[in-house]
A and B are shown apart, each in its own frame.
Chain A
Amino acid sequence: MLYFSRAKIFGILLLCGLGVLLSLPNLWSRPAFWPGILPWTQVHLGLDLRGGSYLLLQIDTDAIKKQDLNTLLDQTRQTLRAAKLGYTDLHVDLPNHQVLLHPLSDQGDAAMKALQKLISYAPGANSPSVAVSQTTAGAIAITIPRATLAARDSQAITQAITIIQRRIDGTGVLNASIARQGRNEIVVQLPGISDPGRVKKLIGTTAHMTFQMVDSNATPGAPPPPGDELLPMANNPEKKLPVFSNVAVDGSSLEGAQASTDPQTGQWVVNFTLNSVGAREFADVTSNNVGKLFAIVLDGKIIEAPVIQTPITGGSGQISGHFTAQSATDLALLLRAGALPAPLSIVEEQSVGPELGADAIRAGTLSLIAGFIFVLGFMAFFYGLFGWFANIALVMNLVLMLAILSAMGATLTLPGMAGILLTLGMAVDANILINERVREEVRNGRKPLAALEAGYKRAYATIIDSNVTTLLAHITLFIFGSPPVRGFAVTICAGIITTMFTATVLVRLITSRWYVARRPASLPV
């Protein structure tokens, strides 16, 4: 009980000092003189405390799968045509992520051999791009393995995050955080932005732009001939134009885009430039089709279909489609940032304005402080000096919890703060157990030192039992819970660990120093 080796005392004080150091940054913002290599980590305040927006986006993985399977279908067709092999019933089987076809009866083996060419290994990938197999019904199945699909989804998410980052940066919003969550979700947090309308529009647009020739031979109103598709005009969805499905120039060859006003008409336009490959394609198409209509398509809608007046060989052009200053700026931003690999949908949204915060935060913080003071007062009234020892440990406990949460960069919400307070309320349970035990030992006639020894020793088993059960419950909650609950579970787990340290080790150290200094004849219990 009394003996603490120098090393142990040093260790305990070092841990406390470290806790104070790690939690201090929460009181100020990073000073300018602070060297960049030293850590300055703070607890992040949740949206309910500082205002801002939270968006949970889900990427449409089915769309990626569909797109990949359609590409595979085209590749299969080309491979078989190149090998001069016949086939019937070539189609995509979406649920089984494969392309199916029936080879001509005497060409089964030849087709299998030709289709092996489709198998490739992406750099760094463990699974092949596709697997070719023969089904029992005599058909050939070209399957994209599950692992490859998963890797593809992962890649799409990473790509989407980069593009969203670029788009949001373009709007001038500061400190946005964009992170992956789970298998197919992305969390976007916009501190200080309580009306996320514009950001939502920017994120919700795939922004896949293509240049396609309008089919002037198709009869208006009739179903489009094969190889054509009927696309609506962006500003008038009733009006549709038949265009060739074959893309003349893809938006991925865009190099830059800028909004400006046309000096002649005064209208808002978007000027774009293409990279060298795109510029060459653009020059070819415009040279061969002078006088024809040319559609600029964004996400399946025609923004504009101007007549090609002269060949455009400079690799730059202009889109003018009834823009306002805002819509022209946004379109330019979208084109610069690039297209999303798949559509995103907003499945969860939360935005809090600054006005709401003020009252709620004041009420919340005041009652939290009141609760904390009540606990301190209770310990002082019911346990006297030992209660004050417990109170010192309790303040240290709060500091250490803050230190752990800061080091983890955890997010603190109002309910999270309530969780911390309740953890502190329960933390004194360990001290209450010890004090009651010591008191019993005194009543059983033990001398002060023996009573302290026995009290601490006997209370330990109970303290461990009760804390381990709570810890296990919250670890389970962390593993199986959804992200918001996980934050709460982390807070409680951090609290239990710090409690085990402060309420037992630290209080014991304080008590032993006090005992050595005073050598009291009786204990204040």
Chain B
Amino acid sequence: MFYRPMFRFVPDGTKIRFMNGRFAGLIVSAVLSTASIILFFYPGLNMGLDFKGGVVLQVQTPTPPDFAALRAALAKAGLQNAALQSFGKGGKGVLISLESRDSAAATQTAIEHAQTALDNAAPGAKLLSTQAIGASVSRQLFTQGLAALGLSFLMILAYIWFRFEWQFAAGAVTTLILDTTKTIGFMVVTRIPFDLVTIAAILTIIGYSTNDKVVVYDRVRENMRKFKSMPLRDLIDRSINETLNRTLGTSGTVFLAALPLALFGGAALSGFAWIMLFGIIVGTSSSIFIAAPILLFLGERRLRRSAAQPKAKEK
């Protein structure tokens, strides 16, 4: 542990025929991504406060609160469609969510009414936090967030295009899009709210996944120069095997860093961390089972003569 390494993921000289699983990988990915797109339209993402707008009050009551009485008091204050949700230890916490109002002034009035209703229905209740986002701001945050995400995507595409042949860029970007759709599907299923923090998480995942693809592609390119006669299929398999310890090592460290956050990090961090964990698994497997096969399909003719090519022709 202090001088020599104690573990390795795979022994040296591992030769797994990854490309044998290329159709299985692509089919599984296609099914998952299609399902994710369907989930995106129905039931759809659970929009967070940032993008939906509205008010969330976090309240702590001295005794477990009487939800019916609270609801009645809020309705009396003109807040009929307030949503109540319990949180925290001992059931003494209540989240009160109000829908977005048209004007900033109406939102402020709603907060005041909710506070008064709360004081009447649950004396001694403490307001832990207030969050209010107006409709115009949330719309702006949403469009800006998505635009930034899209542009970052294009930036990655441009860089890979610039540094590699187009087959690599096409493979990487297709895979990234597939990864992102799956992440969105994961968010729909787990009901993790879609907000600015999760946009940051998605972008981190995209960055991580790109990184992973670049490492494999770099090795493919290097091996293409080194083994001029090797068929592309064997060459890709060889490259993946050679980088396998690195791939698993880096996924391992990032996974370990995010794991405690997901399990014990609390509401503010666990959503972010779960997306990271999911993204690491998807991003790592997609480098092997999606990005590499796409490169194989696109590049078999162009990047390399097929395996049948006689050896004598090469120098």
A interface residues, Cβ below 8 angstroms from B: 48, 56, 58, 194-195, 200, 204, 345-353, 355-356, 359-360, 363-364, 366-368, 370-372, 374-375, 378-385, 387-388, 414-415, 418-419, 421-422, 424-426, 428-429, 432-433, 436, 440, 443, 458, 461-462, 465-470, 472-477, 480-482, 484-485, 488-489, 492, 524-525
B interface residues, Cβ below 8 angstroms from A: 1-8, 12, 58, 60, 88, 103-105, 107-108, 111, 126-134, 136-137, 140-141, 144-145, 147-149, 151-156, 159-160, 163, 196-197, 199-200, 203-204, 206-208, 210-211, 214-215, 218-219, 222, 242-243, 245-246, 249-250, 252-254, 256-261, 263-269, 272-273, 276
Identify 17 residue pairs between A and B in the complex whose beta-carbon atoms are under 8 Å apart, listed by A's number.
A346-B132, A356-B128, A371-B256, A371-B258, A372-B257, A379-B253, A418-B261, A418-B269, A428-B253, A436-B249, A476-B154, A477-B151, A477-B152, A482-B140, A485-B148, A485-B200, A524-B4
Contacts of A429 in B (CB 8 A): 211, 246, 250, 253
Partner of B128, one of A56, A352, A366, A433: A352
Asked if residues A422 and B136 are in contact (CB atoms below 8 Å), the reply is: no
Shortest beta-carbon contacts, A-B, top 5 = A425-B257, A345-B104, A374-B256, A367-B260, A370-B260
Q: What would 13 more interface pairs be, CB under 8 Å, given A387-B5, A488-B200?
A: A200-B108, A351-B129, A355-B128, A370-B260, A385-B4, A415-B269, A418-B265, A443-B12, A469-B214, A476-B155, A477-B148, A482-B141, A482-B148
**Within the assembled complex, what's the spacing in Å between the Cα atoms of A458 and B245?**
16
Partner of A477, one of B1, B203, B211: B203
Asked if residues A350 and B130 are in contact (CB atoms below 8 Å), the reply is: yes
**Within the assembled complex, what's the spacing in Å between the Cα atoms of A380 and B259?**
18
Q: In chain B, what residue has the closest Cβ to A421?
A: B257
Contacts of B108 in A (CB 8 A): 200, 204, 346
Asked if residues B259 and A371 are in contact (CB atoms below 8 Å), the reply is: yes
Partner of A465, one of B103, B136, B163, B208: B163
Asked if residues A469 and B211 are in contact (CB atoms below 8 Å), the reply is: yes
Instruction: For the complex formed, measure the closest distance between the CB of B52 and the CB atoms of chain A, giving whole angstroms.
Output: 13
Asked if residues B5 and A472 are in contact (CB atoms below 8 Å), the reply is: no
Contacts of A424 in B (CB 8 A): 257
Instruction: For the complex formed, measure the closest distance between the CB of A446 and the CB atoms of chain B, giving whole angstroms.
Output: 15
Decide yes or no: A348 and B134 within 8 Å by CB, A371-B258, A476-B148, A476-B155 being known contacts: yes
Contacts of B211 in A (CB 8 A): 426, 429, 466-467, 469-470
Asked if residues A474 and B207 are in contact (CB atoms below 8 Å), the reply is: yes
Asked if residues B261 and A436 are in contact (CB atoms below 8 Å), the reply is: no
Asked if residues B266 and A384 are in contact (CB atoms below 8 Å), the reply is: no
Instruction: For the complex formed, measure the closest distance between the CB of A296 and the CB atoms of chain B, giving whole angstroms.
Output: 24
Asked if residues B151 and A476 are in contact (CB atoms below 8 Å), the reply is: yes
**Within the assembled complex, what's the spacing in Å between the Cα atoms of A351 and B136?**
20
Decide yes or no: A363 and B266 within 8 Å by CB, A477-B203, A485-B196 being known contacts: yes
Asked if residues A375 and B253 are in contact (CB atoms below 8 Å), the reply is: yes
Decide yes or no: A473 and B203 within 8 Å by CB, A58-B104, A371-B256, A371-B261 being known contacts: yes
Decide yes or no: A374 and B260 within 8 Å by CB, A429-B253, A524-B4 being known contacts: yes
